[in-house]
Amino acid sequence: MAHAKILIVDDEVVVAEAIRRQLRSLGYLVVGVVSSGSEAVQLAGEHRPDLILMDIKLKGPMDGIEAAGTIRSQYAIPVIYLTAFSDEETLERARPTLPLAYLIKPFVSSDLRAAVELALFRHRVSCIAEQRGRWLDAVVQSMGDAVMTVDRQGKVTMLNPAAEGMTGWMQSDAIGKPVEDIVILLDPDSRRPVMNPALHALHMGKSSDLAQRPFLLISRQGDEHRISDTVALIHDDKGDTSGVVVVFRSAPTQGA
């Protein structure tokens, strides 16, 4: 990432200066070199660097892990830890701050470049994914069709406003409840209960378009809605089913 801004936090002056020279020779912009956790937090807020190289062991009341945690919560700036300590206790303390890499001292210039490039790339991809997630959420929330997601245990994980209106359930009340308790469906002719399409899709392991088969949805307040729906499986990064998304809308009444 050309001209990325990097903040160095290390209380060993000689080491910090060597890192600064290496980064500058690689084309990065070093926005500061500080030796304490409190200074790191302050400069992170002032310069908003793209990446921070943070020594875990710092002198003073705030070590690198605490400083990284504060910076992450306030500014969401990614961190690479610099450390001569790779013991499990130190790593366990560092994990909650979600560092993008560890560099074990001493390291060579090629290791530094590889860690920085990989960290910047991972952070950029993460930001793109988060932005797309926000866009998708905005689309789902504004849709006129009712949208619901269900995990593979058959528990509700999301209702958009249209689904709240149709089922009579607020999302905050519905999350974690069995889908068959939230979406009560009857056969429109016999008025007998029918298997929830979300559970059917999870059981069969395949998506379905049931637009040609209407149901009666009975809301929490007892109102009836004639609906049709589409059910699609949600897959995780390994290709395994992690849940389903159900889209349902008002269906025309017979003879309409």
**Per-residue pLDDT at 256:** 45
Neighbours of 209 (CB within 10 A): 12
* Inter-residue contact 174 to 150 (CB < 8 Å): no
The token pair at 228 is: 């049709």
Last residue of a domain, one of 138, 160, 179: 138
Verify that 41 and 91 share a domain, yes or no.
yes
The token pair at 196 is: 């929830």
Number of separate domains in the chain: 2
pTM: 0.62
Confidence band, pLDDT 50/70/90 cuts, at residue 75: very high
Which amino acid, one-letter code, is at 217? L
**Per-residue pLDDT at 190:** 92
Average the pLDDT over each of 82-91, 151-160, 162-171, 193-202 and give the range with the smallest value.
82-91
- Which pLDDT tens digit goes with each residue over 162-190? 999 999 999 999 999 999 999 999 999 89
255 in a structural domain = no
Tally of CA atoms within 13 A in the half-sphere of 239 that contains its CB = 0
* Inter-residue contact 167 to 174 (CB < 8 Å): yes
Q: Is 73 a residue whose pLDDT tops 60?
A: yes
Which H or E run contains 241? Answer: strand 241-250
The CATH number of residue 197's host domain is: 3.30.450.20
**Per-residue pLDDT at 2:** 54
**Per-residue pLDDT at 204:** 86
Q: Is 255 a residue whose pLDDT tops 60?
A: no
**Per-residue pLDDT at 1:** 52
Residues 39, 32: Cα–Cα separation, whole Å? 10
* Inter-residue contact 154 to 215 (CB < 8 Å): no
Verify that 119 and 171 share a domain, yes or no.
no
Which H or E run contains 104? Answer: strand 101-104
Helices 37-47 and 64-75, packing angle to 10 deg: 20
- Which among 82, 137, 140 has a CA at the least distance from the CA of 106? 82
Verify that 96 and 204 share a domain, yes or no.
no
Verify that 12 and 54 share a domain, yes or no.
yes
**Per-residue pLDDT at 50:** 95
**Per-residue pLDDT at 74:** 94
The set of residues, in sequence order, having a beta carbon less than 8 Å from that of 148 and lying 6+ positions away, is 156, 158, 159, 160, 163, 167, 179, 182, 183, 198, 245, 246, 248
206 in a structural domain = yes
Residues 154, 19: Cα–Cα separation, whole Å? 52
**Per-residue pLDDT at 40:** 96
DSSP letter for 99, please. Answer: -
Verify that 127 and 168 share a domain, yes or no.
no
Last residue of a domain, one of 110, 138, 166: 138
Structural domain boundaries enclosing 105: 5-138
